[in-house]
Structure 1
Amino acid sequence: MNKEFVIRRSFLLPLGLLGALIIALGVVCIIQDQPAGKAIILGALLIPVLGLFVESLFRRAIVSEDRLTVKKALREKSVSFSEVTALDLVVVKKRAFLSLSTEESFLILSNAYRDFPELVASLAAKVPEGVMSEETRENCRNVPVKTADIVSCWLAVGLVLFILYLQLFA
């Protein structure tokens, strides 16, 4: 049975809204005949926001009986559990990074995925014995859930809304 893990919707919602608000602000600047520099700056902001949104929207980690497959916007990578030589979980403050290594390849997943503790537990149960250190086993028992990215995104939405309000009504 396959289990699919996606990027948290609580992150995608404000990120998509931020992209839409930047587009709206750009349209308002063009309609109000603002200096071209404003539109260029908004365009420069929009590119990474929309890039991150599209990449996050299409990212999937699929755990099957014998392999982990990570699907991204235009690519896919797969690792067979029998070929895994190391599984490491590194925790830095509230960020966690899980890496699966084989002789030829590796995959890195972060705790941006919804149900990340379940993903970690599922992978830890499927890899061969001896590929996890004791430190990794301990980290797998206490996987942090990250919320700072969501808070930052909502703050950016609030800031762009404020700028849009000033642009329209000031």
Structure 2
Amino acid sequence: MTERMSFTIRRALLLPLGFLLLVQLALLVVSLLQGQPTGKILFVGGVVVLLAGLLADNLLRRIELDEEGITVCRIGRRRRMLFADLTEVEAVCLRKRLFVTLWVGESFLLVTNAYGGVAALFESLLQRIPSGLVSDEVKGLVEAPPCHNGNIIVCWFAVVFSLLILCQQFLAGS
């Protein structure tokens, strides 16, 4: 009997996303205190709201595997598929992003390599999927999943860029 396993979005993405939200919040506060134009305040406020939603979604997103099936949990949504009901399994790798699609008739779940412990996730997934549904091509892609860091790098650049804007805001305000 295999235990229930849970996988969440990689901390390497959540950390810079959290920092970016904090820097944008600081920029919003500084803009309000300095009496910046309403358009700028609304823009930064909109960015804060979007970042807060994105961070909340990524913090709460998870995949749960148990003996019978897979459950993908997101804010307000929970989808479950039983391994016995699977009709097809596909995988594609695009620019170091691995997408594994699990099909039950016309319905599908998409599992990506954005989760922490992705190698264990895909290994456990392959062990639970009925034999015959996983082609050698899918096995080859899943057994050595690539590590995609593009979003993480972009997020860190956004943090640095936002910090520069915040510093400039302080200098302009004094």
TM over 0.5: yes
The answer for the alignment partner of 2:19 in structure 1 is: 17
Counterpart for residue 110 of structure 1: 112
Q: Report the CA distance between 1:104 and its aligned residue.
A: 4.9
On the 8 A contact 2:63/2:72 being kept in 1, the answer is yes
Distance 1:85 1:52 in 2: 32
Q: Structure 1 length normalisation: TM-score?
A: 0.95
Instruction: Kindly provide the CA deviation profile for residues 105-161 of structure 1, in whole angstroms up to 9, marking residues without a partner as x.
Output: 211121110011211111111111121222111111221011111111111001101
- Per the alignment, residue 90 of structure 1 pairs with 92
Query: Once superposed, what is the RMSD of the aligned Cα atoms?
Result: 1.2
CA contact (8 A) 2:122 2:143 kept: no
Return the offset for 1:35: 0.7
CA deviations on 1:33-75 (whole Å, 9 max, x unpaired) are 0111111221232233222111100011011011101111222
Per the normalisation by structure 2, the TM-score is 0.93
Structure 2: which amino acid aligns with 1:63? Answer: L
- Of all paired residues, the percent bearing the same amino acid is 36
Equivalent in 3, 6, 9 of residue 8 of structure 2:
6
Show the counterpart of 1:146: 148
For residue 105 of structure 2, give the secondary structure of its aligned residue in structure 1: coil
Deviates more, 1:67-76 or 1:158-167: 67-76
SS of 2:116's equivalent in the other structure is coil
User: Partner of 2:146: helix, strand, or coil?
Assistant: coil
Aligned equivalents of 1:23, 1:98: Cα separation in 2: 36
Distance 2:146 2:162 in 1: 30
Where structure 1 has 5 or more consecutive residues not aligned to the other structure, the ranges are none
**Contact 2:73/2:79 (<8 A) preserved:** yes
Q: Secondary structure at the match of 1:155?
A: helix
Paired residues, number: 170
- 1:2-33 CA-to-partner distances (Å, cap 9, x unmatched) read 01100011111110111121111011111100
